[in-house]
Structure 1
Amino acid sequence: MDMLESNFIGFEAAMVSTIPLCHTNQPDELIWPHNPNGEYLVKSGYKFLQLEEARSRPGQSDFENLKPLWQSIWSLSVSSKVKHLVWRAAKNSLLMKMSLVRRKVNADDCCEICQGQQEDVLHALYRCPKLEELRALNPLWNHSRLKQTTSFLDLIGSIFTENRESAFFSMANNCAGVGVAIRNGCGQVMVSLSQQIPLPSTVIEVEALAARRALILAQEIGFTRVVLEGDSQTLITALKTSSHTLAHFGHIAQDIRYLASSFSDVRYTHVRRQCNTVAHSLTRQAILSPFLQVWMEDVPPELADVLQVDFQSLD
């Protein structure tokens, strides 16, 4: 870390330090970061140049730049009316007192709840002092940063950027979590693990790091035959093929293949997220604790109910 800080600016050194390192000797490779598989395509290059040109035009509302935000809003696991509310708020199409005053419908733009500030979308849904208790329910959000946003669009964009995957990420302390649960053939937990790691740049890298950590743990315990389950179809598909990949997680996938060679049998299986609740709960546990924690034939006491429900679903 000292070498990084002496050769890079502070924020650059912090970014470099979060790059996941491989455990095996692998050659350096050039990859194309604007395509999920790391390979350059003319189509992806053309799209990249279009986006760069659009970003260089000041004052324009670029649909392509906001498209990922709209997709994130409509993919939320909430009711349709909540998605619609967030979408309308981001588009500033909710009737607030400030907009009614501009239209000369109202003469007063003061918030009726706090009676102290003007009521716009950002104030009504986030900044109002009366919402402080609700804000406290989300300790993983970087509220000091969010309070600096100037519109609800900026606010919701920052939330999605800083909490890209609520089960994995906490930008407040720039970390990610890894959770591993190893079961026997009857579904009983033999060992579980919760570990905090530096925040990588993509969710798929966290999935790959979790898979690698699971095999390392299985190797340390002494298992020889394992079935590696994960809810990332992309990662599982990549591991099932022996061909080399230039994707962001390619070097970690190569580590996993190397580890797999030390077992007598390794199989890779894709499962739905609801079938992986114990591992995800362990991941959330890791975000809140900086220490590596391992439980033999058990899980943390606070996850006992999650384990019980998960175990019953196997029957």
Structure 2
Amino acid sequence: MPPALWMKLWKADAVPQCCETAWRACLDILPVRSILHRRGVVGNPCCPRCSEVEETVHHALFSCPLVRMIWFASPLNLRFDEEGSVHDFFLSFLATADTNIAGIFLAVLYSVWQARNELLFKWKDSSIDQLLQRASSLRPSRVLLDDGPRAVQVLPSSWSRPLSGVCKMNIDASVTSSKEAGAGMVMRNNHGEVLAAATTELGPVLSPVLAEALGMRWALRLATKLGFRRIWIETDCLELYTFWNRQGGEFSHLATVVFDCRSLLPNFDVFNFTFVRRTSNGAADALARLAFHYGCMIWIEEAPSEITSITQDDVLASMAPS
């Protein structure tokens, strides 16, 4: 890992033990059962949580089914669907995350590891809420779940209405196992009424975040074509959101697509771009998956029947007192 990224890891907004655990994970030296089994220390290499597969560092921290639930419930709302390289993930994540996001990530990571050890050695099982509450205490600025006056608001778990006169556009992308990508978008007003919905196939992509960026560019072009000039975009892709807020200077396909997106902003009188939980982005997520069925399709002042129940639930949720 480049020295600048190591420095970013150690300067993240989290207490030192969080950074140390991440550092050991990157070097693949956490004492997980697969490593201890190879050294003859333990006889069973399987995960103590799920008992289904060999416990690697990636499995223990990210891809165990029980751990995936923790990451999805966290403020970052991350999804880890398959085994991979911990080092490569950190390389990609730290390149785009700011100090605040990196701190939240490391605090949850350490809490996942700590909870695993308590289960294994003390037979103590923690709920997801307890684990995330513990993570909040591991951050100097306490931005996860703190109830104090300086707390940063936790991301809402459901869709919220935009201000009057502004249209909210939720976007998402979906990538198949063969790397084919599709995208979906839905535009709604402050009453929750669908103004437009659309799907499109994006073709083969190199990475999920590139699919998200291509989907955003397509959605911005479509919004321009349909005459929407005051928009609020929501994405559940943290990597795209953090990349968007970075300073320029990078040369990559992703950077080129993001530059294209920025070049479209003069078409709008009002523009806002925010990151939300996946549970707040259900309609766009469903549309992205439907892209492989519908292809390039646009609905005006209506939506496909497959997402009607989602948009109705969003409206009801947005009416509930906070």
Q: What TM-score does the superposition give when structure 1 sets the normalisation length?
A: 0.48
Q: What TM-score does the superposition give when structure 2 sets the normalisation length?
A: 0.47
Higher Cα Rg, which structure? 1
